[in-house]
Chains A and B, each alone.
Chain A
Amino acid sequence: MPKFSLALLDKVQQIIRRYPEGKQKSALLPILHLAQQEFGGWLSPETMDYVASLLGLVPIEVYEVATFYTMFNMTPTGKFVFQICHTGPCCLVGSEKIISYIETKLGIKAGETTPDGLFTLKRVECLASCGTAPVMQLGKKYVEHLTEEKIDSLIEELRTHADFIRK
């Protein structure tokens, strides 16, 4: 069973207090974000059951909500998730090309994870960054004005970073 640290439990209480008494279900999205970040980058049934218990909800209420929103991963992902926008404005300036470049470079299709578990490639809809397109969301950041060179150095950098963590 996953469990938040005391510090995070305190944060959970802080979040719940943003909403009127009895309306703690409002805290569901922020706490699911916290749980996903804390428990391996995805929401396992156990994680969701834990969140349900924190908020006094029945588990199905959490499953219903978690499966509605695309930011919640319902299956494990790679360490780094490339979420490339493939909506109209990004495509007008080459996002499809960038996606196929990454597919070739990593040897995976969109929606898949590299065998070493490092990279997951996802196509996502509009990230509100059409003026700096093509764009990807990587963790909590956006990488904008994507080019093939930028992808090359990004992948290089992340591989080195992962090696560094492993050592």
Chain B
Amino acid sequence: MKVTIDGIELDVPSGTTILEAARQIDTKSAPPAMCYYSTLKDSGGKCRTCLVKITQSSAQNTRPSMRLVPACRTLVEDGMVVQNNLSEEVLEARKGIVELLLINHPLDCPICDQAGECDLQNLAFEHGASGTDYKEERRRFPVQDIGPDIKLHMNRCILCFRCVYVADQLTPHRCHGVLNRGDASEIGTYIAKAVDSDFSGNMIDVCPVGALTDKTFRFKSRVWFARPMNAHRECTACCGKTVVWLKGDEVLRVTARKDDVGEVKDFICNGCRFQHKKLEDWVIEGPMHVDRHSVISQNHYEQLQGPQDA
């Protein structure tokens, strides 16, 4: 199927979404996605940051779509023409949505463990406006533990539902979910219950913001002071392929590996994530690739090479 996105034409198989097609052209200029996650079934459609304009529905139907559509949940049709960054309407809509995602966000990046690797920070930087006219009170929820290893800062949550899909699709019995309605909606277990399945830690990695963070890493370090290294170990529960975040020889935290769009393809078990915090637990493969636009890359550690290696 032929699809044209921002003037660039490409061929994709039928069943491809606009977002996937746009990512094939270039992951950087593709629409931002805060809720869609390709490895989690049913995800997407909710945050509305990936809205794009269809200027021609298909080769047969040359009419534009009535409304902006979510790129993550809209399938490409043959001959479809899409505007993403070239459409003022799309950029304006996106700016509005970023603002709405931020009006109740605490903007507590200086004390948030996610800062530096936060999709909402990046989204605001790339697609947001410089200010807001929001002058009302912000919504507040208490900070909670959900399980022994995970901290929930509901104030920061954008209700992407990814953690719910992780619990549904990777763990045997989901015990947390989205409670209440409207802007009172919150992630929770309703009655104090530990989320303690063996794969629950993946909720942290799929969380696009600092709502779910690793308690074993809490306030230990800013991510850009840590050195992320690809590492592996023999594990019977998962693939054992991880990133260990080092400070000196200390393992500050362990995460799953993310691809170039920031998604985990191989989820890891809680054993690898929370219980193996010694350097000798791991075979270090080498530095994780860090995009040069990321604040984490300011360590320049990846480029540190001896003259003999050059």
B179's partner among A45, A58, A64 (CB-CB below 8 A) is A64
Residue of B nearest to A60 (CB): B177
Chain B nearest CB from A120 CB (Å) reads 20
State how many residues of chain B have any CB contact under 8 Å with chain A.
Answer: 12
Verify if A4 is at the interface (C-beta below 8 Å from B).
Answer: no
Residue of B nearest to A44 (CB): B191
**CA of A70 to CA of B182, assembled, Å:** 12
Once A45-B190, A45-B191, A60-B190 are accepted as A-B contacts, the answer to whether A67 and B173 lie under 8 Å apart by CB is: no
Verify if A78 is at the interface (C-beta below 8 Å from B).
Answer: no
Contacting pair B174 A58 (CB below 8 A): yes
Number of A-B residue pairs at CB separation under 8 A: 29
Once A67-B179, A67-B180, A67-B181 are accepted as A-B contacts, the answer to whether A58 and B173 lie under 8 Å apart by CB is: yes
Verify if A80 is at the interface (C-beta below 8 Å from B).
Answer: no
State how many residues of chain A have any CB contact under 8 Å with chain B.
Answer: 10
Residues of chain B within 8 A of A61, CB atoms compared: 174, 177
A60's partner among B180, B181, B189 (CB-CB below 8 A) is B189
Verify if B59 is at the interface (C-beta below 8 Å from A).
Answer: no
**CA of A45 to CA of B193, assembled, Å:** 12
Once A45-B190, A45-B191, A67-B190 are accepted as A-B contacts, the answer to whether A59 and B175 lie under 8 Å apart by CB is: yes
Contacting pair B175 A68 (CB below 8 A): no
B148-178: which residues lie under 8 A (CB-CB) from chain A? 173-178
Verify if A63 is at the interface (C-beta below 8 Å from B).
Answer: yes
Residues of chain A within 8 A of B177, CB atoms compared: 60-61, 63-64
> Among the interface residues B174, B178, B191, which one has the most CB atoms of the partner chain A within 10 A?
B191
* Apart from A60-B175, A61-B174, A64-B178, 10 more pairs, CB < 8 Å: A45-B190, A45-B191, A59-B175, A61-B177, A63-B179, A63-B190, A64-B179, A68-B180, A68-B181, A70-B181
- 11 residue pairs of the A-B complex, CB under 8 angstroms, read A58-B174, A58-B175, A60-B177, A60-B189, A60-B190, A61-B174, A64-B177, A64-B178, A64-B179, A67-B181, A70-B181
Query: B residues touching A (Cβ–Cβ < 8 Å)?
Result: 173-181, 189-191
